[in-house]
Structure 1
Amino acid sequence: MLKDLLNHLNEGKTFLGGSELESVMQEVAIETQKQLAQINHTYKTDLEMKEGVAHILDKEVPDSVRIRQPFYMDFGKNIEFGENVFINASVHMQDQGGIRIGNNALIGHQVVFATLDHDLMPNKRGNLHPAPIVLEDDVWIGSNAMILKGVTIGEGSVIAAGSVVTKDVPANVIVGGNPARLLKRLSDRE
């Protein structure tokens, strides 16, 4: 059933509140929260954190990934890490819609990744709409930024601290603000 759930989420299909798939998602999320509570409860080295996260994800995570605690995932089954990724303390990943992190990504303190939205209509508010977040290679996300569903951040780009990213970011730029907007283009000479 988990495979069906992941397929449903990764196809971007609306997730109906009260459905059987929602029940499965809640069960998985509860188990993930229990495991994260154990991992975050006592000091762990970067390697121990990486191994704990890999166990929850039930997939390999590159040895070069460094994760500082505490670290939070809502679902814990739909994240992919590239090589040489650094995740600072108190990062929150609402990963139901999928999070793909490229090589050499730097993620600052208290960054939030939100891959789900509730329906806007009050009578359908229990329905969820998933979409992935993609960080291409060499992306730097500043502290306290929020990345919303469906956003791709282009290679080499920087998200300024405290920004709310609501739309795709091209490669090799700096964006900032709420909502994030272009601040500067990066050149090879910088």
Structure 2
Amino acid sequence: MEINTLLLNMKKDGVLKAGSEENAAMREVSAETRKLCAEMNNGAYTDEEIRNYMSGITGHEIDESFSLFVPFTADFGKNIKIGKNVFINSGCRFQDQGGITIGDGSLIGHNVVLATINHDYDPKNRGTMFLKPIVLETNSWIGSNATILPGITIGENSVVAAGSVVTKDVPANTIVAGNPAEFMSNLEDKI
């Protein structure tokens, strides 16, 4: 299955059924992505070389203002869109089958997990995956060891404190913290 068809089906259906043609195609892409991540994570590369690897992983040209400290892992890779002036620190893991969009000027701290998949609760059907996108709007800052769950939007300029687990959308210009992440303050109170 061609990648564009797979991406369209994943977005349209929001489900990857175990044993389906889409699931098989996703696994093929994932195998290539894991290989590229392993190569990138096990070498000493320039920023330009890392951007080239990320372009291969995502299937999109990555802007020269992008910076990544390895290691980095993506489950699928082809459903990640990265804006300009984005920084991703080391140890991040992106489960991107549902789609991850990272807006311009965003910062992502060490060991952040962006997870766009939930599995079926029925143990007999646990291999079926439900996909929901994550969107980090312009100038988002995700602190170290935070986890963003499927279907979440982090509003423009917002901050997710280190170690937080984000289970609901974060409004623009706010700071959230905790597990589950809750409103802490407005950004303007800290400036």
Please indicate the TM-score interval, normalised by the length of the shorter structure.
Answer: over 0.9
Deviation, 1:188, is 7.5
SS at match of 1:168: coil
> Could you say which residue in structure 1 is the equivalent of 2:83?
82
Distance 1:164 1:5 in 2: 30
> Could you say which residue in structure 2 is the equivalent of 1:20?
21
8 Å CA contact retained: 1:47, 1:66: no
8 Å CA contact retained: 1:96, 1:115: yes
Q: Report the CA distance shift for 1:37/1:186 in structure 2 as closer, same or farther (over 3 A).
A: same
1:138 aligns with 2:139: yes
Deviation, 1:84, is 0.3
> Could you say which residue in structure 1 is the equivalent of 2:174?
173
* Equivalent residue letter for 1:45: T
Distance 2:151 2:190 in 1: 31
Distance 2:48 2:142 in 1: 22
Deviation, 1:12, is 4.7
SS at match of 1:72: strand
- TM-score between both structures, scaled by the size of structure 1: 0.96
1:54 aligns with 2:68: no
Distance 1:113 1:25 in 2: 18
Unaligned runs of 5+ in 1: none
- TM-score between both structures, scaled by the size of structure 2: 0.96
Distance 2:167 2:111 in 1: 17
> Could you say which residue in structure 2 is the equivalent of 1:124?
125
Deviations 1:45-87 (A, max 9, x none): 2221111110222211111010110111100101111110000
Distance 1:39 1:12 in 2: 32
Deviations 1:75-127 (A, max 9, x none): 01011111100000011011110000001000000000000100112222111
> Could you say which residue in structure 2 is the equivalent of 1:115?
116
Distance 1:160 1:51 in 2: 30
Distance 2:21 2:85 in 1: 38
* Equivalent residue letter for 2:100: I
RMSD: 1.2
The number of residue pairs the alignment matches comes to 190
8 Å CA contact retained: 1:12, 1:97: no
Structure 1 moving runs of 4+ over 4 Å:
none
8 Å CA contact retained: 1:155, 1:171: yes
> Could you say which residue in structure 1 is the equivalent of 2:41?
40
Distance 1:124 1:142 in 2: 34
Distance 1:174 1:119 in 2: 32
8 Å CA contact retained: 2:36, 2:56: no
Percent identical: 51
Q: Report the CA distance shift for 1:183/1:132 in structure 2 as closer, same or farther (over 3 A).
A: same
Unaligned runs of 5+ in 2: none
SS at match of 1:11: helix
> Could you say which residue in structure 1 is the equivalent of 2:32?
31
Q: After the TM superposition, which of the residue ranges 99-108 and 28-37 deviates more from structure 2? A: 28-37
8 Å CA contact retained: 2:14, 2:98: no
SS at match of 1:93: strand
* Equivalent residue letter for 1:139: S
Distance 1:26 1:111 in 2: 23
Q: After the TM superposition, which of the residue ranges 54-63 and 137-146 deviates more from structure 2? A: 54-63
